[in-house]
A and B are shown apart, each in its own frame.
Chain A
């Protein structure tokens, strides 16, 4: 249990480690970041993949998709 807590806190603090590494990026430098394939959301075509995974697996959430409820799955 203790190891699990350390792990969760470690992942949660990951951005704090990452943030100082961030370089300032101007609008005109975002051509690659603005590419539609660089989006930090799921593809629309993935929607039903995420649905069947939430039915067939015990966990869900933290992916912009279902977290439970809304259908006969847990």
Chain B
């Protein structure tokens, strides 16, 4: 009897305990959140190169270049009343370069301007709908340097599939103006005056337009718990003035002219990425691209980067990239073009060559930030590049991420 009483009391207490679990009214109703600061990224790079196939001198001469590039990106994130995530990214880039070959825009190598500054702000907006697995985006871009101005517009959509895949489409347009800076021997008489300091003053260079329209298709897919990949296809249509007016070409008879290229180019690059998580500490990032265009240039690019996680927050990333291309139909080296050729260029970016690019990086991203600060991630990367045209370059980059 005592056992029955204790059981009844126990059941009663259990029931009483059960009532005590009555849910309170849900006070955690959804509230939209205004755009607020999410993260900032600073990316700085220093690039230096040496070579002896300057396009300004028709495929010969010093190609020494240095470039210091600095960019900042500020990202703001918010949620609207329909629980859609809105991201706004404002960017500003400033590049300062020097190029030894610019002195040779003057036939005697006396051009004083051997450096330049490029400034390029951008603004991108993305709206993600997690319920539907879709997003839309739009962006504007502007770039200004002494001889080149560009306005860019883009818009895109993505849609996730039920099978861990995602389709993407992005349309972009660049509307550019190339300032017609001619080599000195081709400038019409009286095109410039000599200033007080001996500098050349050009009241009117004139300019020519260049338009680039791109449709970028992408499809990414999770293949298993360790492997995912994506396929990327761009359809690129370029029209307008596609050469540069200060690039010389020397013909077999010794006469020279300025580069002449078709006013239309269609490019078709097709890329494949595969990332694989090997074991617990190694990530393999593979990439392959096939490229072909209407100028007869074909190329293959293959790269492999290995991420070695020494700890969950500290990794090393050695990488190697191989690239090979055929020459464009309109390329010939110094004094190899015929004056009867319809198009001609001695720009070695259009020559046949192979290149190797290798190096490594260090990435540090502790969960509480570096030294418990707002600096959440630090990445340094160095690469050494060689081309079979004898061009050699080095690039070192730094990315700091603040939250």
Q: What residues make up the interface of A, taking CB atoms closer than 8 Å to B?
A: 4, 7-8, 11-12, 14-15, 18-19, 21-25, 29-30, 32-33, 35-40, 43-49, 51-53, 55-64, 67-74
Contacts and interface: CB of A to CB of B under 8 A. Distances in A.
Given A23-B224, A67-B236, 20 more contacts: A4-B292, A23-B223, A29-B225, A32-B277, A35-B277, A36-B365, A45-B43, A48-B43, A51-B69, A52-B67, A52-B385, A52-B395, A58-B297, A59-B293, A59-B325, A68-B265, A69-B152, A70-B141, A70-B152, A74-B350
B223 A8 contact: no
A63 B287 contact: yes
A59 B267 contact: yes
A70 B174 contact: yes
B222 A25 contact: yes
Contacts of A49: 45, 357, 381, 383, 395, 397
B141 A47 contact: no
16 contacts: A14-B231, A24-B163, A24-B164, A38-B275, A48-B395, A49-B383, A51-B69, A53-B385, A56-B349, A58-B299, A61-B267, A63-B271, A68-B267, A70-B143, A70-B150, A71-B118
B210 interface: yes
B87 interface: no
Contacts, number: 220
Contacts of B71: 47
Contact of B283 (A18, A35, A60, A69): A35
A62 B355 CA distance: 18
Interface residues of B, number: 97
B234 A61 contact: yes
A74 B270 contact: no
Given A48-B69, A52-B395, A70-B212, A19 B221 contact: yes
B397 A46 contact: yes
B397 A62 contact: no
Nearest to A48: B45
B139 to A, nearest CB: 12
B381 A46 contact: yes
B270 A68 contact: no
A14 B277 CA distance: 21
Nearest to B216: A67
